[in-house]
Amino acid sequence: MVTNNFLRRVEKEYERMERSLSEIDQQQEDRLVTAEQCLMLIDGHVRKLKAQVIRHQFDSMADEVCFFRDLKPKFISKYLYYNQILEIESLRPRSGKKAIKKFYENRMAKLNEDYLGYIEFYNYFKRGATYLDQKYFVRNAYDLKMRLPDHLYSFDDGFTTFYDHQVAKIIANDDMINFLMARLKALEIGEEQQTIPKNTLKWTAPKVALIELIYALHHCRCFNAGTLDLSETTKVFEQLLEVDLHNFHKVIAEIKARKSNRTKFLQHLQQNLEQLFLDTDF
């Protein structure tokens, strides 16, 4: 849990950035345009963050580790993710479901192979290990006996540590794999439902509100007597409402971490419905 004032401000800045990214995603249907706009937004936030960090003196090594392990990679991962979206949407075949499917599958295979290049660190990070954090996530603290990244001497020493960029890559690649799986699933559904009229129902409220609603309905066992996995339920809503919820686990964690009013959207629904009943009572 972040307690340092500077680190809390960084967290708030990330939350503001995520809300802005969500708004862009809601307003723009073209994924190419969305990716371009999101990249410009993220670039502004990262430049601001860099200027703040270079001027800031961390109170302790633990705070520095927290920033470079837990906070900075979240910003950079978003940039890497939307950069991959831009590349994928630019290069993917425009027709032929088999060609599109093969393209997505090849991209997924490439992402999975990418982990092999840094498997030792990947396992360290995924296990939640911390015993090497002071070497990985403190500036100018690398050990020449350890495996060093190829771009070591391109580092900005004031804003980069040994492996914070690798954490960002892991997060971005995980998100991208989820995105590609969703696209493959949508492609599969499209093949099976060619004769079904085009759905005109779209979710236009914030994505976090939909995820809160899905999570509540799922845990009340409202679908298939509770036998569906949350991921399966979410995919159905994605297809029905033409919305991308690939990062729903992260959003649920953020909802749980709210200081107050964790069921904000559900309470909003209840209050509006009760007011409607009051207004229409005779």
Q: In whole angstroms, how far apart are CA 38 and each of 23, 24, 35, 115, 166?
A: 10, 7, 5, 26, 21
* Mean pLDDT across the chain: 86
Instruction: Identify the domain boundary among 146, 169, 193.
Output: 193
Q: Residue type for 229, please?
A: D
Length reported for the chain: 282
Query: Contact 35/85 with Cβ under 8 angstroms?
Result: yes
User: Are residues 70 and 153 located together in one domain of the fold?
Assistant: yes
The C-alpha atoms of residue 223 and residue 229 are separated, in whole angstroms, by: 10
Instruction: Identify the domain boundary among 178, 193, 208.
Output: 193
pTM of the model: 0.65
The answer to whether residue 77 scores a pLDDT higher than 50 is yes
User: Are residues 50 and 144 located together in one domain of the fold?
Assistant: yes
**Span 181-198, pLDDT tens digits:** 999 988 888 743 443 445
The C-alpha atoms of residue 137 and residue 66 are separated, in whole angstroms, by: 8
User: Are residues 175 and 205 located together in one domain of the fold?
Assistant: no
Closest C-alpha to 209, from 10, 3, 67, 26: 26
Average pLDDT over residues 136-152: 67
User: Could you list the residue range(s) of the whole structural domain that residue 266 is in?
Assistant: 197-282
